[in-house]
Structure 1
Amino acid sequence: QVYNTCAKQIVKDVLGGYNGTIFAYGQTSSGKTHTMEGNLHDPQAMGIMPRIAQDIFEHIFAMDENLEFHIKVSYFEIYMEKIRDLLDVTKNNLSVHEDKHRVPYVKGCSERFVTSPEEVMDVIDEG
């Protein structure tokens, strides 16, 4: 229900060529991780991130087979105004920058290429 209300339209916009961001904000132990991740391997109890991955890859898999996609995943948290790379514990004070097209990114954050929703779940598990 949260996914359909809050995130599904953002995914549609991203697939249409726009940038999209979804993040959880709140006190420690308020349910942010549960909302974003849920149970990664249970379709009924998945959170927002695995549902996004499923929708994006369903869209890609339904497209013309002659198209090629390269999808990268980063996984970080902002805590106490510091950005921490959840895929590399040595990167704990990263900063946000913009590329030449004014698209924001976290400089130095680890990236993993993925080819399926399952690989996205593996990256989340890694973090």
Structure 2
Amino acid sequence: MVQGAEARMKGNEAETVKVVVRCRPMNEQETANGYKRVVDMDVDRGVVEISNVKGAETDPKKTFTFDAVYDWNSKQLELYDETFRPLVDSVLNGFNGTIFAYGQTGTGKTYTMEGVRDDPEQRGVIPNSFEHIFNHIARSSNQQYLIRSSYLEIYQEEIRDLLGKDQKKRLELKERPDTGVYVKDLQQFVCKSVNEIQHVMTVGNQNRAVG
């Protein structure tokens, strides 16, 4: 039920990593089976408490503290505005940024990251960031931006270009003194609008491994 998202900003000589936890609501099967919620969240303090349902009621809960936590009532745009918008703003100012979702199958990673594209209230982090970036570019008059997109998959320790014509080809991780770590022969596509970058994502999603 708990998933984690790591947001990273790098600028000057310092690097900041924020760890954010979001908990999904119990699903229909869990409710029908009479399961009890074992996760409690104190949103104001950024605390997650986990109960052991097999233990005694007097047993203390395990407590974990994070940079921010979002419970089962949290909204997609609320999460984006509070946690991810500052990171994307820093990228638009020239810094590096990474949003990394982590969690077991069924915890809601896809909903948080992608959501429902055609529903503004349920759009996830990725489509919201697309809108954010291109709206910023449209309002800018004294700067030029070049948006290039790539889409890769690391599956069973192999790297695959989800936008490549040969889906059987495996790519190699390389490193250069000037640019750092990169993936050799990974394709990049210039995108000039939200629709273009969404199309890139759609094509890549069709080639993803699911398992």
Q: TM-score band, normalised by the shorter chain?
A: 0.7 to 0.9
Bigger Rg, which one: 2
Give the residue type in structure 2 aligned to 1:58.
N
Please state which structure has a larger fraction of its residues in strand.
Answer: 2
Alignment of 1:28-47 (within 5 A): 28-47=105-124
| Larger RCO, structure (CA 8 Å, separation 6 or more) | 1
| Identical-pair percentage | 42
Q: RMSD between aligned alpha carbons? A: 2.3
> Is the alpha carbon distance of 1:103 and 1:15 closer, same or farther for their aligned partners in structure 2, counting shifts above 3 Å?
farther
Aligned length: 126
Runs of at least 4 residues off by over 6 Å: none
Instruction: Give the match's secondary structure for 1:24.
Output: strand
Please give the per-residue CA displacement for 1:27-61, whole angstroms capped at 9, x wherever unaligned: 23432222211122322211111111111111111
Stretch of structure 1 that moved more, 87-96 or 47-56: 87-96
Gapped runs of 5+ residues in structure 2?
1-77, 205-211
> Is the alpha carbon distance of 1:7 and 1:31 closer, same or farther for their aligned partners in structure 2, counting shifts above 3 Å?
same
> Is the alpha carbon distance of 1:105 and 1:49 closer, same or farther for their aligned partners in structure 2, counting shifts above 3 Å?
farther
Please give the per-residue CA displacement for 1:53-105, whole angstroms capped at 9, x wherever unaligned: 111111111011x6432211112233333333222362663344445444543
Using the size of structure 2 for normalisation, the TM-score is 0.52
Q: Separation in 2 of the partners of 1:104 and 1:7?
A: 24
Gapped runs of 5+ residues in structure 1?
none
> Is the alpha carbon distance of 1:43 and 1:106 closer, same or farther for their aligned partners in structure 2, counting shifts above 3 Å?
farther
Q: Separation in 1 of the partners of 2:112 and 2:93?
A: 25
Of 75, 85, 88, the residue aligned with 1:8 is 85
Q: Separation in 1 of the partners of 2:179 and 2:144?
A: 24
Stretch of structure 1 that moved more, 35-44 or 12-21: 35-44
CA contact (8 A) 1:13 1:20 kept: yes
Please state which structure has a larger fraction of its residues in helix.
Answer: 1
1:20 aligns with 2:97: yes
Stretch of structure 1 that moved more, 17-26 or 1-10: 1-10
Instruction: Give the match's secondary structure for 2:183.
Output: strand
Q: Separation in 1 of the partners of 2:88 and 2:193?
A: 16
CA contact (8 A) 1:50 1:120 kept: no
